[in-house]
Structure 1
Amino acid sequence: MSIRAQNAKMVGKLLVVAAGMFAFGYALVPIYEHICEALGINVLAVGEKQVPGTSRAAANTQVDTSRLITVEFDANARGPWHFKPAQASVQVHPGQLATVVYEFQNVQNRKMAAQAIPSYAPRNSAAHFNKLECFCFNQYTLEPGEKKEWPVAFVIDPRLPKDVTTITLSYTFFEVGAKVPAEPTATTATPEPRS
């Protein structure tokens, strides 16, 4: 057998092996699903299936529907810009995901970098106020006149003390890297000589 014939035979075998590997990889997902379903291993896949007589969306069992917490929003700006919440307050159940938006506008005629720092009242509510998304996590650079809307997504931990019915979330927005004004210099009067 010539070398050319041996090479052609080898290429044919390699093509069959490559096609078999592709087919096996393609069939692996359905095979895996059938094996997991038969053995009851993949709990998520079983839970996602539509069971007759049940609703499609599973209820969040971590939401405490017996309580309502009022969350008030406050904004303080340390500089010449506009910063405010889009709404003054919301009422949420502990464990319920809520999202609010804060509006910001750089009204200066120059680019600025800024960041927000949160604070909570009452103080013991801070440990139970879990922010999933917040503009306070980062610094932002805004062009002159640029407007932004930033979301705050949060969940109040159901272990929040029962006596807390209102939480105030306050942000102070300040410029980062701004020039700090010089301290005022004290002028001392020189004593006049006595005669």
Structure 2
Amino acid sequence: MEPQSRRSVIALVFAAVAMFGFAFALVPLYDVFCDLTGINGKTATTPTTASDKIDRSRTVTVEFVAYINPDVKWQFTPQVTQVDVHPGETKIIKYDAKNLHHQASIGQAVPSVTPGIAAQYFNKIECFCFNHQPLAAGQQAELPLVFYVDPDLPRDIKVLTLAYTLYDVTPDLTPLTQPDELDNEVKNVELL
């Protein structure tokens, strides 16, 4: 192989490895960026504790929206579409979920808050989005959300929208995993 061809091959291999490394690092970098800026309404994925002060001098409207990824065969809706809360006040609402598929499946809800800057002030104490939600074929469940809006929310924000997008995270069935085994696994996992 000629020296010029060898250098070209080495440069191409290096470029391919560098692109793979960059693509691999994008998700953690995006998470750090969202945590620092609050852009895109990304919320924390760990439980928080309730606020000890309630600002009764103002009210914030929290709207609830549910989206279902096209390949998910579930019904997924909030029981209420909005609530008025005083910042610092703890509220509980529920989402209804039903597996319409002929076999067990596992769902995962991913939250986002708009406006994006408000995400850092929306605190989930208990949320079905912290865990996978397994449902047997035809099974339904009420999925609770316990939250509060931080009293430090800027006063110009009067409405927050919490949107969940539901994804199917059921592992691919392989010869080692039969549908009956997955159904048994789903029955053994306790829902929130």
TM-score by length of 2: 0.60
CA distance in structure 1 between the partners assigned to 2:130 and 2:52 by the alignment:
29
1:63 paired with 2:51, answer no
Partner of 1:150: 143
2:163 to 166, 170, 176: 170
The alpha-carbon deviation at position 178 of structure 1 amounts to 5.5
Partner of 1:104: 97
CA distance in structure 2 between the partners assigned to 1:99 and 1:161 by the alignment:
23
Partner of 1:137: 130
The alpha-carbon deviation at position 177 of structure 1 amounts to 3.7
CA distance in structure 1 between the partners assigned to 2:167 and 2:52 by the alignment:
39
TM-score by length of 1: 0.59
What CA deviation, in whole Å up to 9, does each residue of 1:66-98 have, x standing for no partner? 110000000001122100000010000000000
Q: Give the 3-state SS of the residue equivalent to 1:136 in structure 2.
A: helix
**Within-5 A mapping of 1:118-133:** 118-133=111-126
CA distance in structure 1 between the partners assigned to 2:73 and 2:156 by the alignment:
38
Partner of 1:74: 65
What CA deviation, in whole Å up to 9, does each residue of 1:96-134 have, x standing for no partner? 000100000001101101110000000011100010000
Report which structure shows greater RCO (CA 8 Å, sep ≥6): 2
Q: Give the 3-state SS of the residue equivalent to 2:119 in structure 1.
A: helix
**Number of equivalenced pairs:** 120
Percent sequence identity is 40
Ranges in structure 2 where 5+ consecutive residues have no aligned partner: 1-50, 173-192
CA distance in structure 2 between the partners assigned to 1:112 and 1:61 by the alignment:
39
Partner of 1:193: none
Rg comparison, structure with higher value = 1
Once superposed, what is the RMSD of the aligned Cα atoms? 1.4
